[in-house]
Amino acid sequence: MGPTLTAGKSEVTGVDTVGDVVSSVADRARDLDAGRTDTRVDIAAAGRAGLLDRGVGAHDDHSASVASMVEVIERVSAASLSVGFSLWAQRMVIEYVARAPERLRQQHLRSLVSGDRIGVTAMAAGLKQVAGLGEVPITGHVGPDGLVINGPIRWASNVYDESLIVLPVRTGDTTLVVVVDANAPGVEIRTAPELIGLGSTASTSLALHDVVVGEENVISDDLTSFVRRIRPVFLLLQCSFCSGAIGSALDGAAGSLTGVNEVFRAEFDHRTADFVDIRQRLGDYAVDPSAPSPAELIRLRLDAAQTAAASSRLEATVRGGAGYATGSDTNRRFRETAFIPIQSPSEGQLRWELAQFE
């Protein structure tokens, strides 16, 4: 059999609260894939279980608590990558807001941690700017009531009318990180496109037209410094949803390596070895996210993404007709993992950044 994800108990109660949430997600996975529901239900359940605040408040000293959040996202993603992805987005918005001035934290953090408020991380353009891959397209100028911002958010997830959006805004030589209510005047949420997977994650584009942002809604006035602080957690938690998908795909493939499919045994063993190595590095780095170098984090994220896609493809191949039927878990994983290479930072961006260190 392929490697399975380990069960985890609540450090406080000894109750497997993660397992309860994972069980619910597994029961809902087909409805999520079919678009009959969305991931807000699962975010709220994780909030009620006290899972969304793991690591919050530790700031740059995340010892062990980030490892605990890695476990949550990994195990949830093994049941549904859609939910794991949405939990990652929610947790990153919590990470951003936890680093904001006290007034902003007091206003927003509790509702995000409880899952009552959905968070949108629209920071892809900010991470690209810091990497040297283009300027943030959202610009701002000072108006009578605050900063007036305009521009596109080309892709974001968890986008609902009630969501809180975190995004970068370029103002001359300075780039800020701010929060905006999704239902604020001037925020246009574009119609979500139909996707081959992750359709339940409310992923779409937006446009901002003269949206006013008050000074109290500024998280940081230094994008570069902010990104350098949050990026290790950003990448590690993305690796978590990749890892969850890998484990499920290998488990799904393991029972079909008989008869003619014995020819895939060597590939399966290779992917299994990759999975063990990825989980080892992920666990080691999560103990202290500031310890690995930028190149080590990028390499892990790239390896996790590539192995997720390869493992789901292998599962679909050896499962035969079950891999082709759209209602099967195998097919769902195959479609969901197809998104990972284009998830920001995309495989192209990761390869480019890694090349800068070589």
CATH number, domain at 338? Answer: 1.20.140.10
> Does 29 share its domain with 94?
yes
Q: What is d(CA 6, CA 251) in angstroms, rounded to the nearest whole number?
A: 13
Show which of 195, 223, 251 is a domain's final residue: 223
Predicted confidence at residue 9, as pLDDT, reads 39
Tokens representing 325 are: 């039927």
* 234, part of any domain: yes
Show which of 223, 256, 278 is a domain's final residue: 223
Neighbouring CB atoms inside 10 A of 180's CB total: 25
Q: Write out residues in the chain with pLDDT < 50, as ranges.
A: 1-15, 59-64
> Does 233 share its domain with 287?
yes
Predicted confidence at residue 249, as pLDDT, reads 98
> Does 181 share its domain with 279?
no
* 208, part of any domain: yes
* 165, part of any domain: yes
> Does 64 share its domain with 184?
no
Which has the closest alpha carbon to 233: 61, 113, 66, 109?
A: 66
* 83, part of any domain: yes
Which has the closest alpha carbon to 218: 350, 96, 349, 321?
A: 96
* 6, part of any domain: no
CATH number, domain at 212? Answer: 2.40.110.10
**Number of folded domains in the chain?**
3
> Does 319 share its domain with 305?
yes
pLDDT in tens, 147-189: 999 999 999 999 999 999 999 999 989 999 999 999 999 999 9
* 174, part of any domain: yes
> Does 241 share its domain with 345?
yes
Scanning the structure block, which residue is given the tokens 């997977």? 197
Predicted confidence at residue 325, as pLDDT, reads 87
> Does 162 share its domain with 246?
no
Predicted confidence at residue 243, as pLDDT, reads 98
> Does 246 share its domain with 195?
no
* 3, part of any domain: no
> Does 55 share its domain with 143?
no
Contacts of 213 (CB under 8 A, 6+ apart): 140, 146, 147, 148, 149, 169, 178, 179, 180
CATH number, domain at 31? Answer: 1.10.540
Read off the pTM: 0.93
> Does 215 share its domain with 228?
no
Alpha-carbon Rg for the chain, nearest whole angstrom, is 20
Neighbouring CB atoms inside 10 A of 186's CB total: 14
Show which of 223, 248, 263 is a domain's final residue: 223
Q: What is d(CA 214, CA 217) in angstroms, rounded to the nearest whole number?
A: 6
Predicted confidence at residue 58, as pLDDT, reads 52
* 12, part of any domain: no
Print the domain residue range for 40: 17-114
> Does 231 share its domain with 349?
yes
> Does 89 share its domain with 152?
no
